[in-house]
């Protein structure tokens, strides 16, 4: 198994705050030419998915890749989301209008697939799928009837139900983006998703909506929407990815530091705000003082640092999203990340290796 060095240790000096980090994605041979849009890695097992019904699986830490059987009737589908439980079990999500948005599940290492859910809304569109435990999944879709669609499974993805959580109301022109399967995130008991469109960038986060005298354990889940200074207010701009980490206050209160990235995918090199952060669980947001130099489609927290990537390259932050340092010489096109793997167009898969020079 490849050794992964801590970027936090490598960037302990002030040098890394003002100079590019020398690191790289080591290219792996996937044997595919599909545009890969999602990846999920756990230990030595890695799953990836993308266009033309493509699903890939590796059980040896990315050294070799096998192309999975294509689900029946799915050869033209765009699988933009994947979540795996182990080497044998995974759920894949296709994105498209109406019944082109589907979920399939395998329990035999992708030899066979079962269609478990189809978008019930003719105008709906699936954007991201996320497992919060081995059995609990959430599924985000574009607004239908003025509210973002949110579905829930509590049996490992076999059956799905529409939620009716308060606070999912969507302003006119709002949408989510199926760019990297990371526009929906979970950290411990907290959930969040990013949006954009002509209403501008925003992030929805969960909280316990308690009646007077009730404890948190009996409070129903609710969502709050907060505007975020990421991207521009047009159909192709906004928040494309969000990640978080828990932190404990001096008083013992658990909260989340969230980092959101995005921009305008139709103008990937535009100097619009491409990253923002929140240190109070999503209640308030601040634009990065030094953000990535263009649109980014995915962000992830990795032990002690943050990494974001997109068509313009890869950037790192060691200060919870306040500043971002470009990875020198790394200008490759990437779509999605699940550390230590990233995927992109033309079957591109990379394994992260961090090094630094004086």
Query: Would you kindly state where each structural domain of the chain is located, as residue ranges?
Result: 7-354
* Secondary element (H or E) of residue 350: strand 349-354
CA angle 311, 173, 185 (to 5 degrees): 55
Residue 4 has a pLDDT of: 32
Q: What is the pLDDT of residues 222-272, one digit of tens each?
A: 999 999 999 999 999 999 999 999 988 777 788 899 999 999 999 999 878
Q: What is the pLDDT of residues 168-217, one digit of tens each?
A: 999 999 999 999 999 999 998 899 999 999 999 999 999 877 766 555 55
Mean pLDDT for the stretch of residues 157-161: 98
Contacts with 313 (C-beta within 8 Å, 6 or more apart), sequence order: 326, 327, 330, 331, 332
- Strands 254-264 and 137-144 turn out to be unpaired
Residue 3 has a pLDDT of: 32
Q: Which range is least confidently modeled, 174-178, 191-195, 327-331, 336-340?
A: 327-331
Do 347 and 31 form a contact (C-beta atoms < 8 A)? yes
Residue 211 has a pLDDT of: 64
The predicted model scores a pTM of 0.90
Q: Quick check: 138 pLDDT over 50? A: yes
For the chain, percent of residues with pLDDT exceeding 70: 89
Mean pLDDT for the stretch of residues 45-49: 97
**What is the CATH code for 7-354?**
2.130.10.10
Mean pLDDT for the stretch of residues 127-142: 95
* Secondary element (H or E) of residue 10: helix 7-10
Question: What are the DSSP E strand ranges found in 252-335?
Answer: 254-264, 275-278, 286-287, 298-302, 305-310, 313-317, 325-326
Look at the alpha carbons of 102, 105, 106, 112 in this order and tell me if their dihedral is positive or negative. Answer: negative
Residue 7 has a pLDDT of: 38
Do 309 and 337 form a contact (C-beta atoms < 8 A)? yes
Q: What is the pLDDT of residues 275-304, one digit of tens each?
A: 999 999 999 999 999 999 999 999 999 988
Q: Quick check: 6 pLDDT over 60? A: no
Q: Quick check: 347 pLDDT over 80? A: yes
- Residue 56 structure tokens: 């890939």
For the chain, percent of residues with pLDDT exceeding 90: 78
Q: Quick check: 5 pLDDT over 70? A: no
Mean pLDDT for the stretch of residues 42-67: 95
Q: What is the pLDDT of residues 98-114, one digit of tens each?
A: 999 999 999 999 999 99
């Amino acid at each position: 198994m490849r050794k992964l060095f801590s970027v936090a240790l490598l960037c302990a000096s002030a040098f890394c705050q003002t100079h590019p980090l020398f690191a790289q994605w080591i290219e792996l041979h996937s044997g595919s030419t599909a545009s890969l849009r999602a990846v999920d890695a756990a230990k030595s097992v890695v799953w990836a998915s993308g266009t033309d019904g493509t699903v890939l699986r590796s059980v040896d830490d990315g050294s070799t890749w096998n192309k999975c059987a294509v689900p029946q009737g799915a050869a033209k589908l765009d699988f933009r989301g994947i979540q795996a439980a182990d080497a044998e079990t995974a759920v894949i999500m296709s994105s498209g209008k109406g019944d082109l948005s589907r979920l399939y599940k395998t329990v035999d290492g992708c030899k066979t697939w079962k269609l478990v859910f189809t978008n019930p809304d003719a105008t709906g569109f699936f954007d991201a799928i996320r497992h919060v435990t081995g059995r609990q999944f959430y599924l985000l879709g574009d607004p239908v009837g003025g509210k973002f669609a949110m579905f829930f499974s509590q049996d490992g993805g076999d059956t799905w139900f529409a939620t009716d959580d308060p606070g999912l109301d969507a302003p006119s022109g709002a949408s989510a983006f199926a760019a990297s399967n990371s526009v929906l995130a979970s950290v411990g008991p907290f959930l969040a998703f990013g949006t954009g469109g002509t209403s501008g960038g925003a992030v929805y986060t969960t909280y316990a909506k308690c009646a007077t005298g009730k404890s948190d354990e009996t409070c129903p889940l609710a969502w709050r929407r907060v505007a975020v200074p990421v991207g521009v207010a047009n159909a192709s701009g906004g928040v494309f990815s969000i990640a978080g980490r828990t932190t404990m206050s001096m008083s013992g209160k658990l909260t989340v530091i969230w980092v959101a990235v995005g921009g305008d995918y139709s103008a990937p090199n535009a100097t619009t705000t491409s990253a923002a952060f929140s240190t109070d669980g999503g209640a308030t947001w601040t634009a990065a003082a030094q953000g990535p130099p263009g649109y980014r489609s995915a962000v992830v927290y990795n032990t002690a640092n943050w990494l974001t990537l997109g068509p313009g390259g890869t950037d790192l932050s060691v200060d919870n999203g306040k500043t971002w340092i470009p990875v020198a010489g790394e200008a490759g096109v990437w779509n999605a990340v699940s550390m230590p793997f990233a995927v992109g167009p033309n079957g591109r898969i990379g394994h992260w290796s961090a090094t630094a020079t004086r």
